[in-house]
Structure 1
Amino acid sequence: MKTDIDIHAATACAGRRRPHYAWIVAGVSFVAILGAAGFRAVPSVMMTPLHTEFGWSHATIGAAMSVNMVLFGVTAPFAAALMDRFGVRPILTGALLLIAAGTGVGVLMTASWQMMLLWGLLVGLGTGSISMGFVATVSTRWFVARRGLVTGVLTAASATGQLIFLPVVAEVTDRVGWRWASMIVTAAALAVIPLVLLFIRDRPGDIGVTAYGGDPGASGEPLPNGSFGAAASGLLRGARVPAFWLLAGSFAICGMTTNGLIGTHFIPAAHDHGMPTTLAASLLATVGIFDVAGTIFSGWLTDRVDARILLVVYYLGRGASLLVLPALLSPDAGPSTWVFIVFYGLDWVATVPPTIAICRSWFGPSTPVVFGWVFAAHQVGAAVAAFGAGHIRDADGSYDLAFYVAAGLCVVAALLCGALRMPRRSHVPVGAAVG
């Protein structure tokens, strides 16, 4: 017969084998971000079909994507505050429903203003609620140890969505039209909702546990009251610190050179050089493959290396790759094109973990809301590039100038990150502040 001590030991052993609930929350959050990322595959693939069917210019389609990207960013700090007040599950569920409505009803659109309303407004609000502010909320509430790694993994979820959806959307668009491809995104957003309702919890204390790696005796970090006032106060708090503006400026350039330029215009730019849309989409999806590896590795590095050094290296490398891109585009994907794709994938959003790390060193528990505003700058930059690159293409018949301007801006971003200083109270490496 087993003694009470034996039973207690067996129970403790089983408890050690059971994963911490923080990893379940992180896993479902990954899937939610992945499902929301389906729309990120849409604009670049569908730009040429929409231009062909409706006669809308590249700038007009880019303008709709600009509305989407601005809302994608500006929504983030308010969504983080609302998640604190009303809970993560209802906000996350509502966001997925908005994405499904925008893409589903979007198959009926016949005028550009309808695209602005559906793909711009509705999808922008939905995707903005499941963006970097959400990543910062999950990593800050649920993790003390491995926070940088988790930030990298959740950030990579968007790229994983791109990896999954881009080839599918491109193939379906090529075979049966863009409307069927749009419905795939709708179905993906709806499919995630049951998982969110079943497994997402707001804070570790809701289920009687502490954050992963946290002190069992700790009550958890105090977070700002969830409200629009909290989001506004987060902006005011950040605006008083020079580091906020340096991060926001560099992150705006990050948005210009990723979502705004390459994410929206790579496929039509490659098509201008005679490359088939399906091949260009496969290349962009490959960016997503290496983005996953690059972002996770960046999160690992952020736990160990000065985040400022990482950002300077990332931006300079990105600028160099953009400078040579116009010479690499051709009807076929040669070895040099693949080198660009691999490098750009590794660098795509590798900037996110070190940016959050620096933000956390300055703003502590307020990081989700303050970083939401830094991310808003990222999306404003993306919006400028989405419209600006389309305008350059309409005016010059080529994207080359857009790539050269973006390369120069990456040097500016590196200089901004090099000028960052850390708060005096920080006596540990920048990366260690988030690990």
Structure 2
Amino acid sequence: MTRTAEPTAAAARRHRTAPPRVHPAWWVAAVAFLVLIGAAGFRAATGVLIDPLHEEFGWSRGSISFAVSVNLLLYGFTAPFATALMERYGIRRVVAGALLLIAAGSGLTVFMTSQWQLVLCWGVLVGLGAGSMALAFAGTVAGRWFVARRGLVTGILTAGGAAGNLVFLPLVGLLAEGPGWRFASLTIAACAVAVVPLVVWLLRDRPEDVGLRPYGAGADWTAPPPAPPGAARRTLRALARAARTRVFWLLAASFAICGASTNGLIGTHFVPGAHDHGMPVPVAASLLALIGIFDLVGTVCSGWLTDRYDARRLLAVYYGLRGLSLLFLPMLMAGNVHPPMLLFVVFYGLDWVATVPPTIALCREHFGADGGVVFGWVLASHQLGAALVAFGAGLVRDATGSYDLAWTTAGGLCAAAAILVMAVHRPPRPAA
């Protein structure tokens, strides 16, 4: 009996101490990827609803775009504080609360009768919820759970934002054309609520919570100290320190142009712009989703490249190619899907959010431990640019009857962004 029990006990001890076959960091990344899909899809759905709301209520596209602008603005300016709150209170609590906020905002729109209610529901509630799960969330997860493959994971999580378009926009377009925009809003609310149990069950705040080191960390790795109280004060102090540097303003300005040319312009106005030329809304939404498919590839590749090449040069190439594609867009709009338009979708899709991994890398290089919080503020500038262009492009459409001026102006701004990022200096190498 004794001889039999000893090997059994030893085997049990080996089983308890054996590392898991799949590091839990990858499961956390998988759940974060799903959450980012939802956050992006919920926020981007407003672009598909511009025409249905215009037709039912008679509101101008500019006034509807104003609600989208509030959404984008809060999406951006919530991110720095959400990052600090995740440091203080944990990822699970913040993300679960954000999903419930999105569900409330989307669900309440079915009762609205005036424009201020649209601004409150889609602008304020959905904007705050989506901002709490913005790209800064991707940086937080990658920074806490990964040492090796951090750039790659950042790219994969960033691509989750594009995948949200892939999952939701064709569905929202079909629902808006069929049962109606109210049914589409209720579907979004139900999807947001459905993700909450998964977040509570699987999403862990830090690897030390389960007795492990981050993926790729060596034996000499030590857990960082807990975040001090005063998350909001820390966020503002990080902004004050970063704002004294030239690098911060160069990154903020270039990333504002990034937001203007993606979320603000294409993400908000591509579907109504294509519809102006006779393209059905579900078809235009499917093209926007197709952009999301290719962005999955482009952003993951960008994360891989960021681990190996100068982030400044990568950004300059990305912005230059994006600007070139936008200059050609007015000539490609038509009532049907033709090969040149598909070429634009592929070309632009590969570049959509490819700028995020190198921008996060530059924030880490230049701002150290505050890099995640500083990136939250850089992301706020991204959404400020998006908000201004979302509203401005709607006004251009009301004034000229076309989006052509908006497309070409954004192309020129992207060329300026390529120049700005090359002006960012390389951080000094530490002494040997």
TM-score, normalization by structure 1:
0.95
Kindly state the Cα deviation for residue 183 of structure 1 after the two structures are TM-superposed.
Answer: 1.0
Residue 58 of structure 2 aligns with which residue? 55
Please name the residue that 2:38 is paired with.
Answer: 35
Query: Which string of whole-angstrom CA distances, capped at 9 and with x for unpartnered residues, describes residues 219-269 of structure 1?
Result: 134575351101101111211221111111100000000000000000111
1:305 aligns with 2:270: no
Equivalent residue number for residue 194 of structure 1: 197
Rounded Cα–Cα distance in structure 2 between residues aligned with 1:426 and 1:147: 21
User: Does 1:210 pair with 2:210?
Assistant: no
1:87 aligns with 2:70: no
19-28 or 398-407, which deviates more:
19-28
Tell me the amino acid that sits aligned with residue 280 of structure 2.
P
1:201 Cα deviation from its structure 2 partner: 1.7
Q: Is 1:366 the counterpart of 2:389 in the alignment?
A: no
1:23 is the counterpart of 2:26: yes
Equivalent of 1:113, from 91, 112, 116? Answer: 116
Aligned to 1:64: 67
User: Secondary structure, in 3 states, of the residue corresponding to 1:176?
Assistant: coil
Alignment-derived partner of residue 148 in structure 2: 145
Query: Within 5 Å, which residues of 2 pair with 1:162-241?
Result: 162-222=165-225, 225=228, 227-241=231-245
Structure 2 gap ranges (5+): none
Verify the 8 A CA contact 1:260 1:384 in the aligned structure 2.
yes
TM-fit CA distance, 1:396? 0.5
Aligned to 1:404: 408
Deviation (angstroms), 1:215: 2.0
* Offset at residue 15 of structure 1 (A): 3.7
* Aligned positions, number: 427
For 2:105, which of 102, 107, 114 is the aligned residue?
102
Contact 1:223–1:366 (Cα < 8 Å) also in 2:
no
| Aligned residue in 2 for 1:256 | 260
For residues 412-423 of structure 1, the aligned pairs below 5 Å read 412-423=416-427
Shift of 1:3: 4.7
Shift of 1:217: 2.8
Q: Give the Cα–Cα distance (whole angstroms) in 2 for the partners of residues 33 and 171 of structure 1.
A: 22
**Alignment deviations for residues 96-149 of structure 1 (CA, whole Å, 9 cap, x no partner):** 010000000111111100011110011111000000221111111111101001
Q: CA deviation at 1:7?
A: 3.3
Code of the aligned partner of 1:373:
W
Q: CA RMSD in A?
A: 1.8
Distance in 2 between residues matched to 1:143 and 1:199, nearest whole Å: 17
Structure 1 pair 417–43 and aligned structure 2 pair: CA distance change class (3 A): same
Quick check: 1:338 aligned with 2:342? yes
Q: How big is the shift at 1:427?
A: 8.0
Amino acid at match of 1:98: L
1:126 maps to 2:109: no
User: Does the aligned pair in 2 maintain the 1:223–1:365 contact within 8 Å?
Assistant: no
For residues 431 and 107 of structure 2, what CA distance do their matches in structure 1 show?
51
**Which amino acid is the alignment partner of residue 268 of structure 1?**
P
Contact 1:105–1:118, Cα closer than 8 Å, also in 2: yes
Contact 1:315/1:414 (CA < 8 Å) preserved in 2? yes
Deviation at 1:384, TM superposition (A): 0.5
Q: What do residues 54-75 of structure 1 show as CA deviations (whole Å, max 9, x unaligned)?
A: 1111110111011010100000
Bigger mean CA deviation after superposition, 196-205 or 99-108? 196-205
Instruction: Write the letter of the residue equivalent to 1:154.
Output: L
Q: Within 2, Cα distance between the matches of 1:170 and 1:194?
A: 27
CA contact (8 A) 1:26 1:138 kept: yes
**Residues 175-212 of structure 1: CA deviation (Å, up to 9, x unaligned):** 11000011111111111101111112221111111111
User: Segments of 4+ in structure 1 off by > 3 A?
Assistant: 1-12, 14-17, 221-226, 425-428
1:394-432 superposed Cα distances (whole Å, 9 cap, x missing partner): 00000000011100000110000111112213589xxxx
Does the 8 Å CA contact 1:38/1:188 hold for their aligned counterparts? no
Q: Give me the whole-angstrom Cα distance separating, in 2, the residues matched to 1:332 and 1:426.
A: 56
TM-score (norm 2): 0.95
8 A contact 1:145–1:213 mirrored in 2: yes
Distance 1:184 1:115 in 2: 17
**What SS is found at the alignment partner of 2:389?**
helix
Kindly indicate whether the alpha-carbon contact (under 8 Å) linking 1:294 and 1:346 is maintained by their aligned counterparts in 2.
yes
Supply the AA of the counterpart residue of 1:357.
Answer: A
Q: Percent identity?
A: 56
The answer on 1:76 being equivalent to 2:76 is no
What is the one-letter code of the residue matched to 1:58? Answer: R
Residues 82-91 or 148-157, more deviating: 82-91
Q: Give the conservation status (yes or no) of the 8 Å contact 1:211–1:220.
A: no
Amino acid at match of 2:132: S
Which residue does the alignment assign to 1:347?
A: 351
Secondary structure at 1:18's aligned position in 2?
A: coil
Letter in 1 for 2:121: L
For each residue in 1:62-99, what CA deviation from the matched residue of structure 2 results, as whole angstroms up to 9, or x when unmatched?
Answer: 11011010100000010111111111111111100100
Counterpart CA distance in 2 for 1:238 and 1:158 is 26
Tell me the amino acid that sits aligned with residue 30 of structure 1.
F
**Separation of aligned partners in 2, 1:221 and 1:305:** 28
Instruction: Give unmatched runs, 5+ long, in structure 1.
Output: 429-435
Q: 1:425 to 1:175 in 2, by over 3 A?
A: same
